[in-house]
Structure 1
């Protein structure tokens, strides 16, 4: 979590009806296929509502999936402002070592602005085709794929386009995205821990893979809402903010098959246009919603395939809650909302451990995948379950080269950190046996 907290206020003081926030919480918690993880709402630059569903916490970084793209866009904007990157330059000009082998006219005509706006000319995702043959240099694999149409004329949501943009930024700056953004964005905004997956080693992925707290999402949104200024200091050119968040390429035709209405409003420079405002978004419900007409930023993390349902709940319940003037006599409602937000939790497994007829019979019980291989977890080689001597259970997951030791007691979530769990791991579970 940042060492510089965002300024806070109450919903009523900023003209927000707390009942709308309650209704939004009811909607996402009541949907069986939406698992909310966090919510932050900023109005007029002040944090008026925030909460994390346990075991998720405010300070813990969360995988942002494709919301990472909006941070990559910001890095490109900073590099352009420093004269290191030109949106109108051919992509191939940044990779002169590929000149001889990239002969297709479409690939050679592809500009930086085309990959930044998902308008490379390809009609479909090219991830596997670009990365498969050339995992050490996916940019070359991408440029070897001739565009189907003239670059700049058609949209396709295409991960290698963003990867190429990120690779250009990292090439011209001589730093990873994380290193480049730390003094220019992360530190000035007060963003704490952040880390990016790399492919290959040394190159941040760009299109996904950024781990950061919900607070980082909210701060990025507020920077864009404020036109690139932060606490009186210009961090990002206002011209980049305007360009990145305007319609560059229509998406209606490409996203017509199955996507919701908020994916058919057009695309900017690694930002989506929405029915209201614009957004950065990532798979499974990671959102940075910027609503300039309401002076609002909404940051969410979640695990759901029904991303449109989350946006629908925002438009149905939160949008009408943003009024034009402060509300009076709402102290009790604001206090009730604060209490609810402080107690958010994902429901743990409801069952409780039952006493064993013969406790020794489960001591060190071992299980192996049927047939030797677990289809869902191919590296898993075995599971050991045993009572831990204090009324709970110990669970050891063995893989080919490592072992993870966890525990649960049926009383709620148990979060494991430290040497035994290098990646924080939350466990909820119960053991139940049958007596003979």
Structure 2
């Protein structure tokens, strides 16, 4: 039943030079598949990948930030998704922000970009287009940290991770034997992506494939009486403004959500409506399909794992394969 998915994982691992891979699938709240292969690094005597291996999930951390933003909305710290950003970001030029709203910031429709020198500029008017940038993540990280008076990873540890019993999910600051290293260049030794987290923005969140799947299952089950159902609904339902271009992706609070199948979405056209997904540049991807009561966590450890302009093809192909299996 699952061989097409395992074959896909192994093919991508070899083709894109990941040293390791993992695949965990939950169906009806039960693990129905665990697959681990390869090694923690592309060097001799590296530890084999197993159930305790913790991968750097890179930008998939946005789903964790998104949940905290949803909490802030639910608890009234942010009044509305349609609140103007100028009311929350006094240190950013008001004219530059213009009519940008919180909704724009959490759905990649804000139109802001940032140069290497830190200068913020505008690419397009708020809500007029879609672009995957970093400035909105920096802004929302700063905002929720300020609203709660603590780094958002601390908030999650207290409100979600401890109640869920997560002990293989953490923003790592020092190497350890359970951490999978990241391959930047296949011709060079892999390295640890760890660092001091000053604001939770650093891309050093490491998670085992099992807990990544459980993170998805928390959302699938509307918070499991740990997170309010309304918070999960805010995070995982389509929240972006209406686009004139129907090819653009649709988003919840950073999650990519299947509304009407779109050409530039990372979710394939056979994936049921209401499904949602998050991914990181190193290859980890978490797919939740409520219609089938399924969660799929797949892990790799290669920077730019999906490669150039082909990455959407890889993502759509895999999500379609999952939909076909179930």
**Shorter-chain TM-score tier:** 0.7 to 0.9
Per-residue deviation, residues 210-262 of structure 1 (Å, max 9, x unmatched)? 222222321221121112x21xx1413336525533252578969x7xxxxxx
1:284 corresponds to which residue?
A: 282
| Aligned: 1:309 with 2:284 | no
User: Which sections of structure 1, spanning at least 5 residues, go unmatched?
Assistant: 1-19, 135-140, 257-263, 323-436
CA contact (8 A) 1:196 1:204 kept: no
- Residue of 198, 205, 213 corresponding to 1:202: 198
Q: Distance in 1 between matches of 2:196 and 2:143?
A: 14
Change (3 A) 1:203 1:188: same
- What secondary structure sits across from 1:109 in the alignment? coil
Change (3 A) 1:64 1:250: farther
Q: TM-score, normalised by structure 2?
A: 0.73
Deviation at 1:74, TM superposition (A): 0.6
Deviation at 1:167, TM superposition (A): 1.0
1:81 corresponds to which residue?
A: 74
1:33 corresponds to which residue?
A: 15
- Residue of 316, 322, 325 corresponding to 1:321: 325
Change (3 A) 1:179 1:41: same
Q: Distance in 1 between matches of 2:226 and 2:240?
A: 24
- Residue of 88, 91, 94 corresponding to 1:94: 88
1:377 corresponds to which residue?
A: none
CA contact (8 A) 2:67 2:235 kept: no
Deviation at 1:293, TM superposition (A): 1.4
Deviation at 1:310, TM superposition (A): 5.1
Change (3 A) 1:200 1:26: closer
- Residue of 271, 281, 286 corresponding to 2:255: 271
Matches within 5 A, 1:94-133: 94-96=88-90, 98=91, 102-104=93-95, 106-122=96-112, 126-127=113-114, 129=115, 132-133=116-117
CA contact (8 A) 1:85 1:169 kept: no
Matches within 5 A, 1:127-166: 127=114, 129=115, 132-134=116-118, 141-142=119-120, 145=121, 147-166=122-141
Change (3 A) 1:251 1:189: farther
Q: Distance in 1 between matches of 2:280 and 2:143?
A: 22
Deviation at 1:299, TM superposition (A): 0.5
Instruction: Give the total of aligned pairs.
Output: 271
User: Which sections of structure 2, spanning at least 5 residues, go unmatched?
Assistant: 39-47, 174-193, 258-266
Matches within 5 A, 1:422-433: none
Q: Distance in 2 between matches of 1:211 and 1:76?
A: 21
Change (3 A) 1:172 1:293: same
RMSD between aligned residues: 2.8
2:57 corresponds to which residue?
A: 64
Change (3 A) 1:103 1:320: closer
Q: Distance in 1 between matches of 2:231 and 2:200?
A: 26
Q: Distance in 2 between matches of 1:236 and 1:119?
A: 26
